[in-house]
Structure 1
Amino acid sequence: MSYDTVAESYADLLQDALATAPYERGVLALFADLVRAGGAGPVADIGCGPGRITAHLHSLGVDAFGIDLSPAMIDRARRDHPGLRFAMGSMTDLSLADSSAAGVLAWFSLIHVPDDEVPAVLGQFHRVLRPSGVLLLGFHVGNGRRLKTEGYGGHPMKVCVHRRPPERVSAWLRDAGFAVEAQVLHQRDESTQGAFLFARRQP
């Protein structure tokens, strides 16, 4: 698995990235506020990688836990954040009980899922969220996909990265039973625009 190969470099390079990302911190703070306002409860960070976002949510008072498909990423997350919960799992078949989560976060992890599989993934998010639970998606804006062959630290990788217009993702969310409440666009650098969509599971 490509992310097993780059897990250590990825974690080292990005572990302090939020310190210089005020807009991303703001989006995560709003997500945490919405979860608490809804009565709190467990929050699933799907595609958590080495756990840096999971840990940040925990620092905001959220009962966050992480799930990732990469064993090496989960190993690093457990080493870096021993007080938090991390487990291996796939977003296409989450081993979580129905209506068990107060919130679900997919922080630039849906970007590796092909278009034809996204509705099923959003269906999983809908299933595990309790009614009115909060979903936050972060993803790259654009059209099309590219094959990423070199990763963090110069290691070889082979993963597809999908860019999508927010309108398409919003339509998928509505079809999956979510109410889209807010959209934030963020120019991450000169060539990369990110989007954040806040949605709730409809009862």
Structure 2
Amino acid sequence: MTNSADHGRVRASYDVVAEEYRERVGGELAFKAVDRGLLGVVVEAAAGGVVADLGCGPGHVTGWPAERGVKAVGVDLSPAMVELARRDHPEAEFREGDLLRLPASDGEFDAAVALYSVIHLEPAELSPAFAELRRVLRPSGTLLVSFHLGTEVRRMDEWWGHRVDVDFHFLELETVAGLLAEAGFTVDARLERGPYPEEAQTHRGYLLARRG
């Protein structure tokens, strides 16, 4: 179901940039009012249960609910990112894992977010990834997915002066909504926004869905 070599490229690329990524991106929620608002919806939907951050990077999103007394679990492909997350956010739990083989039991999470993590999957991997996300959510559990809007694929071989080899897949809102529906989710809300001045200048899409 997955090209392990491609996921190895993603893992190695994020390992290389982990420290600088944390420095540049780790404080982004301070200026992302939309993201904070949607995270608040997710936390409320979890109703005191466990919130998962799938593709957590250095753990700043995982730390947001954890700092508010919510049990939070972050999962990331990159061991270097997980190490940083554990160091900076000891109030949360972090695990290494792939979106296609999540290190979680069936129905373990009450809600989950996947913020800009599905953009590194090949198109054929989206459906199995959404099936895996459905597996780890409890019935009626809430899922928030975000991604860059469009149809292009950007390959990066240099990132902040580091040699990398990673693809960024831009996605269309209705395409992702359709794949979520096929995987057994009900999409409750769709949102698009333009870029903030402090971030990469791409348009963003968000989908808020419930597991059937």
Q: TM-score, normalised by structure 2?
A: 0.89
State the alpha-carbon separation in 2 of the partners of residues 137 and 114 from structure 1. Answer: 16
Whether 2:154 is the aligned partner of 1:143: answer no
Q: Answer yes or no: is the 8 Å Cα contact 1:134–1:198 preserved in 2.
A: yes
Q: Offset of 1:133 from its aligned partner?
A: 0.3
State the alpha-carbon separation in 1 of the partners of residues 37 and 185 from structure 2. Answer: 22
Match of 2:32 in 1: 21
State the alpha-carbon separation in 1 of the partners of residues 205 and 68 from structure 2. Answer: 22
Whether 2:169 is the aligned partner of 1:162: answer yes
In structure 2, what residue type is equivalent to 1:200?
R
Match of 1:201 in 2: 211
In structure 2, what residue type is equivalent to 1:20?
F
In structure 1, what residue type is equivalent to 2:98?
S
State the alpha-carbon separation in 2 of the partners of residues 20 and 57 from structure 1. Answer: 17
Structure 2: segments with no counterpart, 5+ residues = 1-11
Q: Answer yes or no: is the 8 Å Cα contact 1:108–1:138 preserved in 2.
A: yes
CA deviations on 1:148-172 (whole Å, 9 max, x unpaired) are 2222x32121111001110000000
State the alpha-carbon separation in 2 of the partners of residues 60 and 32 from structure 1. Answer: 9
State the alpha-carbon separation in 1 of the partners of residues 66 and 196 from structure 2. Answer: 27
Match of 2:46 among 35, 44, 59: 35
Identity %: 39
Q: Offset of 1:189 from its aligned partner?
A: 4.6
Q: How does 1:121-136 map to 2 (within 5 A)?
A: 121-136=129-144
Whether 2:67 is the aligned partner of 1:63: answer no
Q: Offset of 1:62 from its aligned partner?
A: 2.6
Over aligned residue pairs, what C-alpha RMSD do you find?
1.3
Match of 1:7 in 2: 18
Q: How does 1:66-81 map to 2 (within 5 A)?
A: 66-81=74-89
CA deviations on 1:68-105 (whole Å, 9 max, x unpaired) are 11010011111111222111111111121111110111
Paired residues, what number?
198
Q: Offset of 1:144 from its aligned partner?
A: 2.3
State the alpha-carbon separation in 1 of the partners of residues 130 and 28 from structure 2. Answer: 27
Q: TM-score, normalised by structure 1?
A: 0.93
Whether 2:117 is the aligned partner of 1:109: answer yes
Q: Offset of 1:180 from its aligned partner?
A: 0.3
State the alpha-carbon separation in 2 of the partners of residues 201 and 136 from structure 1. Answer: 11
